[in-house]
Amino acid sequence: MSSPYLIFFLIFSVYPILFSLTLVFHRWNIISPMKFVGLENISYLIHDPLFWKSITNTFYFLLIHIPLQVVLALVLANALNRKMRGMTFFRASFFLPVVISGVVVTILWKSLYSTETGLLNNLLIHLGLFKIPWLTSVHWAMPSIAIMATWKNVGLYTVFFLAGLQGIPRHLYDAAELDGASAFQQFIHITVPILNPVVLMVVILSTINGFNLFIEPYVTTGGGPVNSTLSVVLYIYRQAFSFYKMGYAATLGFSLAMIIFIVTLIQKRVLEKDM
- CATH code at position 60: 1.10.3720.10
CA distance 142 to 134: 9
Which residues have CB under 8 Å from 271's CB, separation 6+? 196, 199, 200, 203
Which residues have CB under 8 Å from 91's CB, separation 6+? 80, 159, 162
Q: What is the pTM of this model?
A: 0.91
Q: 157 lies in a domain?
A: yes
HSE (CB half, 13 Å, CA atoms) of 26? 15
Please write the tens of the pLDDT for every residue from 68-109. Answer: 999 999 988 888 887 777 777 777 788 888 888 889 999 999
Provide the greatest CA pair distance for the chain: 76
Q: Into how many domains does the chain fold?
A: 1
Please write the tens of the pLDDT for every residue from 160-170. Answer: 998 888 888 88
Which domain does 230 fall in, by range? 48-274
Pick the range with the lowest mean pLDDT from 23-27, 46-50, 176-180, 247-251. Answer: 176-180
Which residues have CB under 8 Å from 162's CB, separation 6+? 77, 80, 81, 91
Q: 18 lies in a domain?
A: no
HSE (CB half, 13 Å, CA atoms) of 42? 11
Q: 92 lies in a domain?
A: yes
Q: Can you give the pLDDT at residue 275?
A: 59
Does residue 118 contact residue 134 with C-beta atoms inside 8 Å?
A: yes
Q: 37 lies in a domain?
A: no
Q: 186 lies in a domain?
A: yes
Q: 33 lies in a domain?
A: no
